[in-house]
Amino acid sequence: MDFPLEQTCCGQMHFNTGYQREAVPLVRRFVRVFKDYETVVSPSGSCVGMVRELYPMAAELIGDKRLLYEVEELAPKVFEFSEFLVEKLGVTDVGAYYPHRVTYHPTCHSLRLLQVGDAPVRLLEHVRGIDLAELPEAYQCCGFGGTFAIKNADTSVAILSDKLRHVLDTEAEVCTAGDNSCLMHIGGGLKRLRAGVKTVHLAEILASTEEEMNR
């Protein structure tokens, strides 16, 4: 297991905002840093989506055949965190303990781009002590969308307000997801409302143990 310190950003924000020529060096960097690893795991569905779906578009934009070949070689080795555990390793019980009422928001890119399906829910179901509450209209976007949240702040928040209502309806203490950016958005809204519900990444819940809690 390694965390190569040379890594920075996958370039999604630049690419999706239209600064695509500016994103190309970041694509090259990602390929250079990660190409020799057997498997790459990321705790962010949208970053994995960027690598799988848009890296080829970046390579084609500048007409670099070699880069296109490299990103196509690398893409199948890059996994979203829950997908890696459930699909690749076949693990659904990681021995976690998390005695809280939790609701899960399936982020758009995990759901539609990566099609991770119910992998995150299967992992959560095996967490001891957890009280899992189903989120109404879970498949609806939270309204984040990267720079959309700033460029179209009003619309973004109009979408968020419905997501927050659904989260609050579950009476959960914790809202979890597989993408920190969506959690930053939902969490930012909940905190501003002083809703008393926190956002926690799926990986943090799965890493919680009884020993740690009692310490």
Residues of this chain that bind other proteins (CB under 8 A): 3, 5-6, 8-9, 11, 13-23, 25-26, 29, 53-54, 57, 61, 108-109, 111-113, 139-141, 143-146, 148-160, 184-185, 187-189, 191-192
Nearest of 173, 177, 188 to residue 139 by alpha carbon: 177
- Those residues with Cβ within 8 angstroms of residue 91's Cβ, 6 or more apart along the chain or in another chain: 85
Shortest gap between Cβ of 84 and other proteins (angstroms)? 18
What's the token pair of residue 123? 């992992």
Q: Which is nearer to other proteins, 74 or 142 (CB)?
A: 142
Q: Which is nearer to other proteins, 3 or 214 (CB)?
A: 3
Measured between alpha carbons, how far is residue 101 from residues 91, 144, 167, 197 in Å?
Answer: 23, 24, 11, 10
Shortest gap between Cβ of 112 and other proteins (angstroms)? 4
Q: Which is nearer to other proteins, 89 or 158 (CB)?
A: 158
Distance, in Å, from the CA atom of 165 to the CA atom of 163, rounded to the nearest integer, reads 5
Q: Which is nearer to other proteins, 160 or 177 (CB)?
A: 160
Distance, in Å, from the CA atom of 117 to the CA atom of 137, rounded to the nearest integer, reads 15
